[in-house]
Amino acid sequence: MSNLINNYARNNIEFISGNGSYLTSIDGKKYLDFGSGISVTNLGHNHKDITDIIIAESSQLLHVSNLYLSTPQEELAESIVKESFAGKLFFCNSGAEANEAAIKLARLYGNKKYNGKKDKVLSFYDSFHGRTYATLSATAQEKIQNGFTPIAQYNRFVAFNDIDAVLDIVKNGDIVAIILELYQGESGILSVEPLFLKQIREICDKEDIILIFDEIQTGMGRTGEVFAYKHFGVEPDIMSMAKAMANGLPIGAIIAKDFVADLLTHGMHGTTFGGGSLITKVAKKVIEIISDKELLNDVIIKGELLKSIIEDKLNDRVTFHGKGLLIGAETRFAPTTVVSKCLENGLVVIPAGNNTVRLFPPLNISKEDILIGANLFIKSINELD
């Protein structure tokens, strides 16, 4: 009997090592990793540059508190600003904490400027923003909120890509922030419509609403840009990030424009472990690697190659969503069924909503392994049929 709380539906496989795009299980079987830990190990397993930093830094310094100066934090913040927009960074440990900080910062803006009269946060059905109390309250999915109600009462929800519904909510004058994913990862990699996003930005500018982009799953090169918002030409006021920032080590962050970031002063928010020197040095190396234009161009090429191989053999039995190597493959089968069959054939994929599985191989995967993975996926779907 396990002493672990039974909150995960675990597959009956234990991985003990990884190298490049492959994982090895405890019984010695190799699996091609098309999950990347849910878009976390975007540079694959056992990446030499990253491992070297971990080894070197772990022998120097594991922890000091945020009560002291940190050059690695400053350098990482500078790298992120360079690849996104002008603003200030706060480092934490996870995506949920990043979204929590973004929500708190927006609420602070409403309280400071409008004396609390603008205090509601608008998010979208089928979104996923985390599992802390504030972030599950902003996650407009009943299955995430079940058992934990009542949720925070400052949240409002409307349908994704429905601008009329947004306008109807905003006219009340109490919305302080709109938070959205550019691709709704947990619901099948559903994309925001470009016109809708542009209209949201215009509404936020007109009504003095903070626009928050949740780039926790879409960031760090997965769509062929360092951050996915670059595809849409619309810039947020606050952006959250996490997952692939340190290729498997825990870190999250928000970047916020100065007009809102400067409201957060000493003692108002913090974290014990966020932004440690080991992790921020690793994250700086990750940013350096994934911001390479050739790598980012290859992400688009590899994504199209993967889809074309599968489409050629499965025809209308699969529908794709997403961009680059952020791929949702929708079939007529339950995601868990597809995951199990793929594992049986040596391929790791990740379930999502709406009969979709996520195909998230490492960004630096070889084209040969793209071909192998595509054929393993085709084999799995054919066996299910």
Residues 270 and 339 in one domain: no
Q: Are 252 and 279 in contact (CB under 8 A)?
A: no
Residues 112 and 240 in one domain: yes
Determine the average pLDDT of the residues in 368-378: 98
Residues 164 and 197 in one domain: yes
pLDDT at 306: 98
pLDDT at 341: 98
Residues 285 and 298 in one domain: no
Answer with the one of 236, 266, 290 that is the final residue of a domain. 290
Residues 128 and 193 in one domain: yes
- The reply to whether 5 falls in a domain is no
If you search the block for the tokens 């079939």, which residue do you land on?
A: 331
User: The tokens of 294 are what?
Assistant: 């050739």
CATH value at residue 118? 3.40.640.10
- pLDDT confidence bin for 39, thresholds 50/70/90: very high
Answer with the one of 240, 266, 290 that is the final residue of a domain. 290
- The reply to whether 8 falls in a domain is no
pLDDT at 213: 98
pLDDT at 346: 98
If you search the block for the tokens 């209308």, which residue do you land on?
A: 316
pLDDT at 83: 98
Closest CA to 213 of 246, 177, 250, 251: 177
Determine the average pLDDT of the residues in 10-26: 97
Classify residue 329 as exposed, middle or buried by CB count within 10 Å of its CB (0-12, 13-18, 19+).
Answer: buried
- Inter-CA distances, 289 with 50, 203, 227, 286, 296, Å: 10, 36, 14, 5, 10
- pLDDT confidence bin for 273, thresholds 50/70/90: very high
Better-predicted residue by pLDDT, 122 or 116: 122
Determine the average pLDDT of the residues in 11-28: 97
- Domain total in the chain: 2
- The reply to whether 45 falls in a domain is no
- The reply to whether 250 falls in a domain is yes
Determine the average pLDDT of the residues in 242-252: 98
- The reply to whether 43 falls in a domain is no
Determine the average pLDDT of the residues in 217-235: 98
**Torsion angle in degrees (nearest 10) through CA of 73, 75, 80, 83:** 180
- The reply to whether 44 falls in a domain is no
- pLDDT confidence bin for 367, thresholds 50/70/90: very high
| Lowest-pLDDT range of 11-25, 61-75, 130-144, 286-300 | 130-144
- Inter-CA distances, 115 with 103, 121, 174, 234, 276, Å: 17, 16, 11, 29, 35
Residues 114 and 198 in one domain: yes
Q: Are 154 and 286 in contact (CB under 8 A)?
A: no
Determine the average pLDDT of the residues in 205-209: 98
Task: Give residue 85's domain range.
Answer: 50-290
- pLDDT confidence bin for 255, thresholds 50/70/90: very high
CATH value at residue 302? 3.90.1150.10
Helix 194-207 × helix 163-170 angle, to 10°: 10
Residues 79 and 146 in one domain: yes
Q: Is the pLDDT of residue 241 over 90?
A: yes
- The reply to whether 40 falls in a domain is no
b (16+ CB within 10 A) / e for 336-366: eebbbbbbebbbbbbbbbbbbbbbbbbbbbe
Determine the average pLDDT of the residues in 175-196: 97
Whole-angstrom distance, CA of residue 134 vs CA of residue 131: 8
pLDDT at 376: 98
Whole-angstrom distance, CA of residue 65 vs CA of residue 173: 41
Whole-angstrom distance, CA of residue 117 vs CA of residue 281: 41
The model's pTM = 0.96
> What is the percent of the chain with per-residue pLDDT over 90, rounded to a whole number?
97
Residues 215 and 310 in one domain: no
pLDDT at 291: 98
Answer with the one of 236, 268, 290 that is the final residue of a domain. 290
pLDDT at 1: 81
Residues 188 and 310 in one domain: no
pLDDT at 174: 97
If you search the block for the tokens 């489409």, which residue do you land on?
A: 311
User: The tokens of 11 are what?
Assistant: 């597959």
Q: Is the pLDDT of residue 172 over 90?
A: yes
- The reply to whether 73 falls in a domain is yes
Residues 81 and 207 in one domain: yes
Residues 322 and 356 in one domain: yes
What average pLDDT does the chain have?
Answer: 97
Determine the average pLDDT of the residues in 157-184: 98
Determine the average pLDDT of the residues in 252-263: 98
Residues 335 and 373 in one domain: yes
Q: Is the pLDDT of residue 171 over 90?
A: yes
